Amino acid sequence: MSKEDVIEVEGVVTEVLPGTMFKVKLNNGGHVITAYLCGKMRQRTIKVCVGDSVKVEMSPYDLNKGRITYRNRI
């Protein structure tokens, strides 16, 4: 899968799960997906909490999982 194939959406973190996994409610449609942190966010130890607005990349093949790539500043 190349970088052009991903779907970028924005959402809000609703629940923190073990293993740097999160439940994210998407802004367009209100679907809830399971997302994990991307590698750069793990390296830089960027903290994500409940209520944070995030940008998520999803594969067009599996719309129930995603990767958090950016945490919006408040």
pLDDT digits (tens, 9 = 90+) for 18-74: 999 999 999 988 899 999 999 999 999 999 999 999 999 999 999 999 999 999 987
Q: What is the CATH number of the domain that holds 7?
A: 2.40.50.140
pTM of this prediction? Answer: 0.91
Q: Is 44 exposed, middle or buried (0-12, 13-18, 19+ CB in 10 A)?
A: exposed
Query: What residues make up the domain containing 31?
Result: 3-71
Rounded CA-CA distance 46/71 in Å is: 8
State how many domains the chain has. Answer: 1
